Structure 1
Amino acid sequence: MKSNKLKALLSIVSISSTLLIASMATASVSKVYQLKGEAVSGSKIPVIEAISPVSFNKKYSSLSDAEKAIFNAKFHDLNANDTPPFPSMGLRSIYKPIIKANKNINATGSLHLTATINANGFVESVKVLNSPNVKLAAHAEKVLRNTQFDPANCNGIDCEMTFPFEITFK
């Protein structure tokens, strides 16, 4: 029942199918996080803009082991002691501005980009793999380029790694 209520409330966006598929493959998800927006006019209840098995507000170091496992599943060559690049201010810093921009653009479909994050946590390049709208892709690329990341760590050394980003707008 709880799942059906979340689906009914999710009117703007469904979060990264990659994260959801990874969560199913890893283990059963005990918690679902919500990214809330503004309340609709005449209501005090905020709109749920996205859902995810990984917190939008935490830094990577603050994620639970289960959340880390879900997130890490997106990185195929990650060793047990390695960490992937992660937005320094949490996933919210990427999802929120892209969702906000799409409220004006009103695109539907999957947006999938990859960003190469260097060993200092800066975005070196962004590649748009799929987008329902050129303006949305350009805005998402700008958001990723302006995001500071905690760099990936490979065998105890900060390293360059690709950060995949995917979101589906309904």
Structure 2
Amino acid sequence: MNELPCSMRSPQRIATGYHSTMAPQLLPLLSLVSTLYLVAQGQEQPQPIEEEPITAKNIQLLGGWFSRDPESLEVQTTAKAAVDHFNTQSNARKFFRLINVISAETQVTNMINYRIEVIIGKTKCLKTEHNSDVESCVLGKKRLTCTFEVWFNPRNEKYEITNSSCQKQI
């Protein structure tokens, strides 16, 4: 018997022939479409999109001054270097010692600039008699509140005190 042209074949035979060659490729697509349809039927109303509120943030400005933790190691080290310099420059007969760092700010340029407010106390150790650690000296009663501006060069790890001002505490 002669083969019928394609257009004259029975629909069942065409579907069977189509199904046997295309079904493995269409099965994942049909599965996805039916899943999406079922999910869409389950949603009666569209859910609102939750938006993140806009909040102000403190962002460090490039080259600007920003606050630092007064208790951080780098601030404490810089404050001690400033007090050491203060001791070499002051006309006082006794050493001063760092008591507390009140506040600190830094600015990064080609160096690290510090602006540090500290409380220092006069010790009982005379500059002429004492060459060891100032930290071991007993504190006297006199206290000063000082602001030091310090440049730190990270290339050679040297400190330079550019400005200092102190006032007696009452």
TM over 0.5: no
Which of the two has higher C-alpha Rg? 2
Q: TM-score, normalised by structure 2?
A: 0.22
Q: Which structure's relative contact order is higher, taking Cα pairs within 8 Å and 6+ residues apart?
A: 1
Return the TM-score normalized by structure 1.
Answer: 0.22
